[in-house]
Structure 1
Amino acid sequence: MEKPQLIASDVDGTLLSTLEEITPRTKSVIRRATEAGVPFVLVSGRPPRWIPPVARAAGLSGYAVCANGAILYDIALDEVVAVHGLLDPLLLHDVATALETALPGCRLAAERIGTCAVDPDVTNFAIEPDYHNPWGDGEGKTSPRAEVLGHPAVKLLVSMRGMSSDEMATAARSVLDGTVDITYSANFGLIEVAAHGVTKATGLAEVAERYGVAPARTIAFGDMPNDLEMLRWAGHGVAMANAHPALLDVADEVTGPNSEDGVAQVLERWF
């Protein structure tokens, strides 16, 4: 690949180390790239409110693609620039009914968004009782299922104890395939439901258009199934050595694991 004109990276399991930190080596190459005029975009399943700590550690102030492509967030302005594929309450209820057939006993949560990362007028994260978050259960307003599903959401999260995310996704697709998109960013019993056609690739394409950069001059890094479309879209898709097998199959290149600065190992060729 020629020197990239746009760099996109997933966050967890890719840019962050196993200690969930930006290492000095990775931060240094990000600084060199941005000083050379090449935008570095965070592309994550995370909501905007989880982006600022990572952006500060990496020295970034531009765009972040959040919620697997549903949200475009301006880090410096703390502003939600665009929202795509809102799931309306009617669709959310239909999805929940289908999921009870495929995953009886599953628990649901809804990710919502306002005009900024933490909008006081919006319940950003509504969860029903016994919903389990593999990243910790200290976040979210616990509400009855009707309330969780009663407002437009950028994504629906589904937890199921005792199953892997792989198993859950297979079961959910058997009843929902083609209606919504199903993916996951960790294999710990959690899947994410988004509007059909909304992916990290569509979010990154919007950023690339704003910068006037073609897919062929974009490099993207990822490690989990929610990164698949992004790696396919980019001119050079790079999977981490610790990536899910599905990414290893489609990547143009496999770099070192996130524990060994795999992103930096590639970017140091140019920066």
Structure 2
Amino acid sequence: MTSPHGPNGSVPPLDDSPLPARPRLIATDLDGTLLHDGKSVSDRTIKALAAAEEAGIEVFFVTGRPARWMDVVRDHVHGHGMAICANGASVVDLHDDGKLLSHRPLDRAVALGVVQTLRDAAPGTTFAVETATGIHYEPTYPRFYEDPGATLATAEQLLQESGSGTDATAPVLKLLAHHSGLTPDGFLTLARAAVGEQATLTRSSPTALLEISGPGVSKASTLALCCAERGISSDEVVAFGDMPNDLEMLTWAGTSYAMGNAHPDVLAAASGRTLTNNEDGVAVVIEQILARQQQAR
């Protein structure tokens, strides 16, 4: 793909881009993709998202974030209000305070089995449990956000349905596993070999932090379900991402873009490449899509 910057910031000719003729849905990751590194949405991106919706192209945020961390984009989902969170484990309505519309939980017994498997395979692993109502941690798990309602206990205690002091009956959306002595990709490779088909393992953090969902649960599989409900085929979807948890979505979508700052596996898997998140790479492609549609009229 040629540079998206033409003279005076204009959109250049699009003949060599992989853009679809008539996309119906844009699916974009947030951190490292739509958001700048400061976790903000630029004015250019806000304008591009609004223009896409006005042109009849739905925009879905598809993220590893839980619903409670979606305030940064809550005002930019426009008409439908829906977002796919927790790597596909939940679909939420951001217009209704992150109300859970559907979920694909990780069975607590399966999660307990994964915990034991990883404790054996990678001693020193620490865990957190993300549920539909909040997150809870092991005491030594490195926390990045303050969660006043979090319970501190072992993963085994947190995952017991009879546990006291936790949301013990709430659906588990994902299990988080951290290791301070392994590389991020090395930990993922080791964990996938150990866990096998028990669960879906991926990563989106620059640290050795794994995100573990139920078998078959991914951004791609939940996005496919949402698209099927709308009569949208994969060929009508344009997807954006930067990390391994985006890989399935990028290969499922008919057209996909890796950010300029993307993980090497993502760069290899996507059908196109755009600028970095800090250079508004998603907005650049949306502008190109809309320019092509305007030229076709």
TM-score (norm 2): 0.83
Once the 2 structures are TM-superposed, how far is the Cα of residue 187 of structure 1 from its aligned partner? 2.3
| 1:238 equivalenced with 2:230 (yes/no) | no
Partner of 1:12: 31
Work out the percentage of aligned pairs sharing the same amino acid: 38
What is the aligned-residue RMSD (CA, Å)?
1.5
Partner of 1:118: none
| 1:80 equivalenced with 2:100 (yes/no) | yes
Once the 2 structures are TM-superposed, how far is the Cα of residue 88 of structure 1 from its aligned partner? 2.3
| 1:44 equivalenced with 2:63 (yes/no) | yes
Once the 2 structures are TM-superposed, how far is the Cα of residue 47 of structure 1 from its aligned partner? 0.7
Task: Name the count of aligned residue pairs.
Answer: 258
Once the 2 structures are TM-superposed, how far is the Cα of residue 59 of structure 1 from its aligned partner? 5.3
User: Which amino acid in the other structure matches residue 80 of structure 1?
Assistant: L
Answer whether contact 2:62 2:219 (CA < 8 A) is retained: yes
- Cα deviation 1:37-70 (Å, max 9, x = unaligned): 21110000011111133222x3545210011111
Q: 1:1-271, aligned counterparts within 5 Å?
A: 1-56=20-75, 58=76, 60=78, 62-78=81-97, 79-84=99-104, 86-113=105-132, 122=133, 124-133=134-143, 136-139=144-147, 140-151=150-161, 152-271=171-290
CA distance in 1, matches of 2:77, 2:234: 24
Answer whether contact 1:184 1:224 (CA < 8 A) is retained: yes
TM-score (norm 1): 0.91
Structure 2: segments with no counterpart, 5+ residues? 1-19, 162-170, 291-297
Structure 1: segments with no counterpart, 5+ residues? 114-121
- Cα deviation 1:138-181 (Å, max 9, x = unaligned): 22332233322224411100011132321211111121122211
Q: Which structure has the greater CA radius of gyration?
A: 2
SS at match of 1:171: helix
Answer whether contact 1:164 1:190 (CA < 8 A) is retained: no
CA distance in 1, matches of 2:255, 2:135: 34
